[in-house]
Amino acid sequence: MERPNAWKNYQSVELEKVESLAKEYRAFLDHGKTERECVNQTVKKLEKAGFVSLEKAIADERKLHAGDRVYLNKMGKAVLAFIIGKQPLEKGMNIVGAHIDSPRLDLKQNPLYEDSDFALADTHYYGGIKKYQWVARELALHGVVARKDGSLVTLCIGEQEDDPVVGVTDLLIHLSQEQMAKKLSESITGENLDITLAGKPLAGEEKEPVKAALLRILKDEYGIEEEDLLSAEIEAVPAGKARDFGLDRSMIMGYGHDDRVCAFAELAAMLDISDVPEYTCCGMLVDKEEIGSVGATGMQSNYLENAVAEILNLMGDYSELKVRRALRSSRMLSCDVSAGYDPLYSSAFEKKNAAYLGRGVCYNKFTGRGGKSGSNDANAEFIGKLRKIMDDNQVCWQTAELGRVDLGGGGTIAYICALYGMEVIDSGVAVLNMHAPMEIISKADLYEAKKAYRAFMENA
Ligand code: MN
Ligand code: MN
């Protein structure tokens, strides 16, 4: 029952493909550290491949037919892409869905203050983080500031070689006796994850001169007033590029593999489909998974349902019943990362049912916690069908669950899509250091995930 290591099967041609996909992926990570940046890149790639904006198609009252490609940009933070298939939409779609938000430190709405000749920014962390991992390291600021006049300023500070970086300080070891005696979860508090932004006073300024100097920089370089920060989304993320990891360069270390590795594999698979597929293919890159898939851009919002209704309408085939049938009859891979087996923490896993780096794309029948609580438990019949599709298409794959029973848990978007009554299973890439500022994946698993997602879209 042990699954083979994918690397053993690669000949030189395939090794080159693994490497070139990895290179493309590293670039995707480097230019996509926020959901907005991922959407921008994705829309560019989709448009280049002939996908047309669904909103534009609606405005033009354009008729849609088999083979047509459309995408929906949801508020710049989520994307749905469709390739219309030969079969009627009510026969269901082959859907792959991943999320593009990652854990980080968000600036508060009123973030700036001065203390002891430093200007600092207050943050509120986003997603599940081990707080001690986010101090004493270089951070970059990415985001947008919306001015009252409707204009939007885009920020990206800390990624160019000569850019400054910012960060959260930590207490020196020499004075850390009390901090070190605390529980790991309490040694760094959320309210103390404040980012140091500046340390030079403005000449001639009496009141908060360092903050005044910082505001001068924001004004001069970006045209931002302090009040504009009230309507901003500024995310502090690990600065720097993704890198090859390991002396054999078999892995990639970078920020946000969860879940951009699946999002990228999905997108790359979709862009490779040139024939008209049997069933309509849908690729989803969604937001807010890390905080419960909430909000207008999270999976719990109904933009998938609305997009399907609009597409049916443009095909001249709309009815409420057909929308329901299209969703109910669909098959879906909820593409999200798995916990990679880590030999340093072996007791957290059950070895027969763990995801191993290098053993290919991973299928999780269920996630959740305790007695599978909160999980989507995929149907055996659906998994049987998947096994055939994967094997027929020479995909290297494995099955896993998150970790040892009763140790913890987690969820994905799977259970939300399952509410429509479609077949759903979790499928993704194994990750080490999940949710740490720098996560690790195997290049082989990225390559196999892309193969798997394409095989699924064309054959499910
Ligand atoms: Mn995830
Ligand atoms: Mn996550």
- What confidence tens digit (pLDDT) does each residue in 240-288 have? 999 999 999 999 999 999 999 999 999 999 999 999 999 999 999 999 9
Average pLDDT over residues 202-229: 97
How many angstroms separate the alpha carbon of residue 150 from the centre of ligand 1? 33
Per-residue confidence (pLDDT) for residue 206, from 0 to 100? 93
Per-residue confidence (pLDDT) for residue 459, from 0 to 100? 98
How many angstroms separate the alpha carbon of residue 74 from the centre of ligand 1? 19
What's the Cα-to-Cα distance from 94 to each of 54, 68, 84, rounded to whole Å?
Answer: 19, 15, 11
Closest ligand relative to 412 C-alpha:
1
Per-residue confidence (pLDDT) for residue 172, from 0 to 100? 98
Tell me which residue of 446, 408, 447, 452 sits closest to 429, measured CA to CA.
Answer: 446
**Residues 233, 195 within the same domain:** yes
**Is residue 111 a part of any domain in this protein?**
yes
How many angstroms separate the alpha carbon of residue 260 from the centre of ligand 1? 9
The last residue of one of the domains, among 181, 209, 238, is 238
Closest ligand relative to 428 C-alpha:
1
Per-residue confidence (pLDDT) for residue 204, from 0 to 100? 95
Closest ligand relative to 434 C-alpha:
2
How many angstroms separate the alpha carbon of residue 376 from the centre of ligand 1? 15
Average pLDDT over residues 181-189: 97
**Is residue 92 a part of any domain in this protein?**
yes
Average pLDDT over residues 370-375: 93
Percent of the chain with pLDDT over 90: 99
How many angstroms separate the alpha carbon of residue 337 from the centre of ligand 1? 5
**Is residue 195 a part of any domain in this protein?**
yes
**Is residue 249 a part of any domain in this protein?**
no
Label residue 49 exposed, middle or buried (CB < 10 Å: 0-12, 13-18, 19+).
middle
Q: pLDDT tens digits for 438-454?
A: 999 999 999 999 999 99
Q: pLDDT tens digits for 82-121?
A: 999 999 999 999 999 999 999 999 999 999 999 999 999 9
The last residue of one of the domains, among 238, 267, 290, is 238
How many angstroms separate the alpha carbon of residue 50 from the centre of ligand 2? 31
The last residue of one of the domains, among 211, 238, 265, is 238
How many angstroms separate the alpha carbon of residue 368 from the centre of ligand 1? 13
| pTM > 0.85: yes or no | yes
Label residue 150 exposed, middle or buried (CB < 10 Å: 0-12, 13-18, 19+).
exposed
How many angstroms separate the alpha carbon of residue 401 from the centre of ligand 1? 14
Question: What are the φ and ψ backbone dihedral angles of 440, each rounded to 5 degrees?
Answer: -130, 135
**Is residue 248 a part of any domain in this protein?**
no
Nearest-angstrom CA–CA distance, 375 and 134: 29
**Residues 34, 183 within the same domain:** no
Per-residue confidence (pLDDT) for residue 248, from 0 to 100? 98
**Residues 149, 96 within the same domain:** no
**Is residue 282 a part of any domain in this protein?**
yes
Give 429's pLDDT tier (boundaries 50, 70, 90).
Answer: very high
**Residues 361, 280 within the same domain:** yes
Per-residue confidence (pLDDT) for residue 24, from 0 to 100? 98
Q: How many domains does the chain have?
A: 2
**Residues 229, 288 within the same domain:** no
Q: What is the CATH number of the domain that holds 374?
A: 3.40.630.10
How many angstroms separate the alpha carbon of residue 162 from the centre of ligand 1? 32
**Dihedral-angle region of residue 314 (phi above 0 means left; psi in -120 to 50 means alpha; beta otherwise):** alpha
Average pLDDT over residues 432-441: 98
How many angstroms separate the alpha carbon of residue 164 from the centre of ligand 2? 28
Per-residue confidence (pLDDT) for residue 219, from 0 to 100? 97
Average pLDDT over residues 9-19: 97
Average pLDDT over residues 386-396: 98
Closest ligand relative to 287 C-alpha:
1
Per-residue confidence (pLDDT) for residue 347, from 0 to 100? 97
How many angstroms separate the alpha carbon of residue 300 from the centre of ligand 1? 15
Average pLDDT over residues 337-364: 98
For helices 257-272 and 443-459, give the axis angle rounded to 10 degrees.
50
Q: pLDDT tens digits for 320-331?
A: 999 999 999 999
Give the domain extent around 116. Answer: 104-238
Per-residue confidence (pLDDT) for residue 89, from 0 to 100? 98
